[in-house]
Structure formats: structure tokens, C-alpha cells
């Protein structure tokens, strides 16, 4: 038989939290295809197949090399049922199923509408069912009432649909850092989300901010927003008060919902503050750019859980929770880790503590691009 030399083949875990996935994706041609199919299932509210394609994409992202033959996927988890897509792409460079989705009017329209900040799949679906197919049709329809978030989403569409660069994220870090220093000397600020994972570009910039002194974080976010507004930097703010209550935990929520105070912002970023200029600099003589920023403010004793939860990727988080539940009988969310066997919460001050409780080798943030 072919390949009979006994070589130790490292097995790939079915859980993203047991794989190291950097930003270097050697299988983009496959993972892009799987993600289109996953998104289409999501639009059609078929959660099972959606998740299956997301998992398959995530496995391929973790591989050190490109898949060149179907046999290379034989020993991989989560891939068996998607062989057809893989074969198509290997043979023709594209997949019929994917091409069909990409040219589907419903998919195209939902994709377009959900690209607006504040428009989720439900709203997009509603607009589609009313026969709307473009932004101009949606904006001209008298029966459609845009909320404040959607109005801002349309107003700043050009800017916020363009990727945010690392240099832009750094400039925003400096701005927010300066603001919190004027509020309290014991403020803690951490860049999280995709930029913490080492991504060069993102769709927004995510921060955790809190105070060392427990309880003092309660007014922090509102103070920050007030100062940003005073400086003329605030273009939009959706502030959500904290509903955090330790006695309501643990919650079984799979989607990364949490009860911390947070705000979804659009900030005005001056090009002069960005090393190398705004991205992309060409054709932008306005000198500033609207950027999406998320701020979340957990109490300091929840910091490690919030940091882990907000660092992503979403697939990494999903699998960390699934691993905890299925393999360890534990419940993990952005607030806490609960051991169902011992019937107690497990304390953690760092992400490493949480991995240790779970018995998972520590994965660095830049290895969580699952």
C-alpha cells in the first residue's frame, strides 16, 4: 500500500481550543467556500449545517499546509461530510454549491443588508420579504423605520465597511488610554478581539476597560463616553447598562452574551493620529474616518473571564465552552467557570488559570484564530 512507512501522524483535535491557529491560513480557498455555505445556512436558520461548515473551516485553518489531495482530509475531524465541496475545489478550483449560493438573489441581498451596522439577519429577512433588494430601495421605502443604530450604519457605511488597520487600532488605543488616565489613575485598558489575536485588519476595535478597585468600574464607561463626546469624537453610542449578578450564574448561553456594561460606538478618528495615515489613504482627502469600537467593562474580579471571552475567535470561544461542558462537566462563559461535579465556581485571575482548570494546554491569543 501507498505510504507504508510508519510515521507518527499528529491527530487534530475536534475542538478548536486544542488546536493552534495563527492568522496564516493555508487553506483559504476551502475555508472561504465553507464560510459562504455556513452563512447561507445561517440566513436560512439551519443551525446544524451552519455549525458543521464553520467547524470544518476552522479545522482547515489550523493546518500547517494546504490540502492538495482529498486523502489528506481522511484523518481530520469535522470534515467527512464536506468531501464533495473539497473535491470540487481540488478539481475545478471552485465548488458548484458555492457558486450557486453566491449567485442566489436572496443570499446576495441578505449579505448586503446585514453589512449595515445595526441590521441583523432578522431585519434583513424582513426587508427582503418586502421585495427590497438594494440600499436605495430600502431607504426609499416609507414602511421602513430605521432605528438610530441603522441610521448611523447607513450614514457611515463607506467608512465602517472598510477594514480597520493595526495602526488605526493603535491610534484608538492611545486616545482611549489618555481619556481613562484623566478619569482614574488605577484604570486598566486591554486591546482585545481580533487585534489581540494579531490580525492586521479588523471590522472594529475591541477594548476591555475597568478599574483595579472593585465597584469603581461602574461609572467608568459613561465617564469615558462623556469625555469622547466633549472632544467631538463620538459619532454614535449604544450604551448597555450592566445586568451582571453573580447569583444568576452560571448561564448556559452559547452565544457570547454577557451582562457587563458595554457600549457599541462609532468614533471619529483623525488621520494625523495614525502612523502611516488612514487605511486606505488613496482618494480620502477628508482627513478622518469613522471607526467602529466596542468597549466592555467587567468588574476586576471577572477580568480573566471577560478577556478570554472577548478575545475570540468566535469559533475558538464556542469550542472552549463545548469542551468545558462535554469533556469536563463545566460551564464557561464571559463571567465565570462553574464545575457541575463539585458544584462550585473556579477562581481565576489570568487566562492561564482558566485553561489550567479546564486541563487544556495554554493557547496564546495569536493562536486562537480558529
Residue 153 makes contact with ligand TTP by CB under 6 A: no
Is residue 88 part of an annotated ligand binding site?
Answer: no
Q: Where do runs of H (alpha helix) occur along the chain?
A: 28-43, 47-61, 83-92, 96-102, 105-114, 121-129, 135-140, 148-155, 157-160, 166-183, 193-196, 220-230, 303-311, 314-328, 351-358
Q: From the candidates 204, 258, 319, 333, which is the catalytic residue?
A: 204
204 is catalytic: yes
Pick the stretch among 98-106, 115-123, 266-274, 308-316 that binds ligand TTP (CB under 6 A): 308-316
The least CB distance from residue 332 to ligand TTP, in Å, is 12
Stretch binding Mn ion (CB under 5 A), from 7-15, 16-24, 51-59, 192-200: 192-200
* Cβ-count burial 141-167 (b if 16+ within 10 Å, e if not): eeeeebeebbebbbebeebbebebbbb
Annotate each residue in 334-353 with x if it binds ligand TTP (CB under 6 A) or - if it does not, as one string: x-------------------
Is 206 part of the annotated catalytic residue set?
A: yes
- The cell numbers describing 206, all together, are 475591541
CA distance 64 to 9: 13
Cα 1 from Cα 69, distance rounded (Å): 17
Q: Is 309 in the site for ligand TTP (CB under 6 A)?
A: yes
Site size with Mn ion, rule: CB under 5 A: 7
Binding at 137: pick from ligand TTP, Mn ion, none (beta carbon under 5-8 Å per type):
none
Q: Note whether 126 binds ligand TTP by CB under 6 A.
A: no
Could you give the CA distance from residue 35 to residue 355 in angstroms, rounded to a whole number?
Answer: 28
- Nearest to 260, CA basis, from 310, 225, 226: 310
- Is residue 367 within 8 Å of residue 20, measured between CB atoms? yes
Is residue 245 marked as binding?
Answer: no
Cα–Cα nearest to 41, from 28, 27, 55: 55
Give the full edge-to-edge strand order of the sheet including 344-345: 330-332, 337-339, 344-345
Near Mn ion by CB under 5 A: residue from 118, 194, 271, 309 = 194
Binding mask 174-213 for ligand TTP (x = CB under 6 A): -------------------xx----x--xxx-x-------
> What's the rounded Cα separation, in Å, for the pair 276 and 302?
36
One of 97, 104, 284, 294 is an active-site residue; which one?
A: 294
In total, the chain counts a number of residues equal to 370
Q: Does 313 bind ligand TTP (CB under 6 A)?
A: yes
Question: Quick one: which segment of 20-28, 142-150, 188-196, 354-362 binds Mn ion (CB under 5 A)?
Answer: 188-196
**339 has binding-site annotation:** no
Q: Choose which of 42, 317, 319, 351 interacts with ligand TTP (CB under 6 A).
A: 317
Interface ranges with ligand TTP (CB under 6 A)? 193-194, 199, 202-204, 206, 256, 258, 294, 309-310, 312-314, 317, 334
Amino acid at each position: 500500500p501507498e505510504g507504508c512507512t510508519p510515521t507518527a501522524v499528529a491527530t487534530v483535535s475536534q475542538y478548536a481550543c486544542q488546536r493552534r491557529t495563527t492568522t496564516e491560513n493555508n487553506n483559504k480557498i476551502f475555508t472561504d467556500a465553507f464560510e459562504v455555505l455556513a452563512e447561507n445556512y445561517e440566513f436560512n436558520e439551519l443551525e446544524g449545517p451552519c455549525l458543521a461548515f464553520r467547524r470544518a473551516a476552522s479545522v482547515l485553518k489550523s493546518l500547517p499546509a494546504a490540502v492538495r489531495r482529498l486523502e489528506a482530509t481522511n484523518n481530520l475531524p469535522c470534515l467527512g461530510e464536506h468531501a464533495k465541496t473539497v473535491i470540487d475545489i481540488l478539481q475545478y478550483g471552485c465548488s458548484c454549491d458555492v457558486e450557486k449560493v453566491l449567485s442566489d438573489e436572496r443570499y446576495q441581498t441578505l449579505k448586503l443588508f446585514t453589512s449595515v451596522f445595526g441590521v441583523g439577519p432578522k431585519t434583513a429577512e424582513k426587508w427582503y420579504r418586502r421585495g427590497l433588494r438594494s440600499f436605495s430601495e430600502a431607504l426609499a421605502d416609507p414602511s421602513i423605520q430605521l432605528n438610530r443604530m441603522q441610521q448611523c450604519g447607513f450614514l457611515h457605511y463607506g467608512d465602517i465597511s472598510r477594514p480597520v488597520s493595526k495602526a488605526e487600532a493603535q491610534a484608538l488605543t492611545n486616545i482611549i488610554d489618555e481619556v481613562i488616565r484623566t478619569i482614574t489613575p488605577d484604570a486598566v485598558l486591554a486591546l482585545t478581539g481580533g487585534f489581540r489575536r494579531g490580525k492586521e485588519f479588523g471590522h472594529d476595535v475591541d477594548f476591555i476597560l475597568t478599574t483595579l478597585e472593585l465597584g469603581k468600574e461602574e461609572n467608568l464607561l459613561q465617564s469615558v463616553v462623556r469625555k469622547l463626546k466633549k472632544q467631538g469624537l463620538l459619532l454614535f453610542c449604544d450604551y448597555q447598562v450592566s445586568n451582571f449578578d453573580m447569583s444568576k450564574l452560571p448561564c448556559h448561553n452559547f452565544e457570547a452574551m454577557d451582562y457587563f456594561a458595554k457600549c457599541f460606538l462609532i468614533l471619529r478618528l483623525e488621520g494625523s493620529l495614525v502612523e502611516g495615515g488612514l487605511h486606505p489613504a488613496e482618494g480620502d482627502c477628508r482627513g478622518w474616518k469613522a471607526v467602529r469600537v466596542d468597549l466592555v467593562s467587567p468588574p476586576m474580579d471577572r477580568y480573566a473571564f471577560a478577556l478570554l471571552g472577548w478575545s475570540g475567535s468566535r469559533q475558538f470561544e464556542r469550542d472552549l465552552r463545548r469542551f468545558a461542558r462535554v469533556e469536563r462537566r463545566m460551564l464557561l462563559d464571559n463571567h465565570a467557570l462553574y464545575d457541575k461535579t463539585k458544584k462550585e465556581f473556579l477562581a481565576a485571575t489570568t487566562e492561564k488559570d482558566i485553561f489550567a482548570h479546564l486541563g487544556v494546554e495554554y493557547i496564546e491569543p495569536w493562536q486562537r484564530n480558529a
